[in-house]
Amino acid sequence: MLVHADGLWKRFKGVAVLRGLTLAVPEGSTLALVGANGAGKTTTMKVLMNLLEPTAGTATALGVDTRRLSPRELAQIGYVSEHQQLPGRMTVSAYLDYLRPFYPTWDRSLESEIIGQFRLPTNRRIADLSHGMRIKTALACALPFRPRLLLLDEPLTGLDPLVRDEFIDRLKRQAGETTILVSSHELSEIEEVTTHVAFVDRGQVTFQEGLNDLTSRVRRVTLMLAENVPTPAGLRGEWLDVRRSGTVVSFVDTQYSAVDLPAKVAAVFGPVHRIDTEPIALRTIYTSLARAARDQQEASA
């Protein structure tokens, strides 16, 4: 694993933001770190970059304890954050000139390609750029040295659709060559480049899975019931977001199996006229799981 976190805790003034978080990022993957605001995504990123030291637990990046990252490792790690501070008084060109000597693998032709794709005004001061242009500048500074690892903390927040498309297109070109860990609320956009997903809730990774496996086992199911069949009080725990309109019942099945589903349905509803299933987007999977976790938390409070 190119990145591994084991039992990470981080407390701020006694408040635990990370609570035993464990995470593994396979080399060559693009892993989406998904969770609500305050779940611990940004804190996790900062621990991995050694911008914060964990209260307990360990984390490694490129096989090195993140608390001991040297210039050698940092020269192989790119980092782009929604709130990243760039030197506003410098022009884009001057900032690139400043950065190149720190990265032995810097590729000037790739730099030129990215500048052209993003249409960056290299002669303008960074402080005079729009938010979208500043984010593109940050990415243009993080990619030309062809990092082995790229950390992206909510990079799409506040970007207009065109800038998002250009950003995602550049990530597609980099995917495979670079291992990417990205946190974002823009799940419909990052799904295009995502290979793995980790769901974070209250400072813990509740589960981590390959995207193909996740989208295969989580499906929207629609049933056409026989007339006057009541909805049982107790449905299966893996069926979420259950809705009924007349004789039509729909739900998200989080343990979908084409072989097992008919028997499960029959055990709950008896014979049904029809069963339809369809894959659902990552955003819908997340909202269904997050809503179920929230409801469970409220019920146990």
Q: What pLDDT tens digit does each residue of the chain (301 aa) get?
A: 899 999 999 999 989 999 999 999 999 999 999 988 889 999 999 999 999 999 999 999 999 999 999 999 999 999 999 888 999 999 999 999 999 999 999 999 999 999 998 999 999 999 999 988 999 999 999 999 999 999 999 888 777 888 888 888 888 888 778 999 999 877 887 888 899 999 999 999 988 999 999 999 999 999 999 877 888 877 888 999 999 898 999 999 999 999 999 999 999 988 899 999 999 998 889 888 888 877 777 666 6
Q: What angle do CA 130, 52, 45 make, to 5 degrees?
A: 55
Task: Please state the domain extents for the chain.
Answer: 3-209, 219-279
- Cα separation, 67 vs 267, in Å, equals 54
Instruction: Quote the pLDDT of residue 293.
Output: 77
CATH domain 3-209 topology: Rossmann fold (3.40.50)
**Strands 15-25, 3-12: pairing kind:** antiparallel
With 0-12 CB in 10 A as exposed, 13-18 as middle and 19+ as buried, what is 230? Answer: exposed
pLDDT at 14: 87
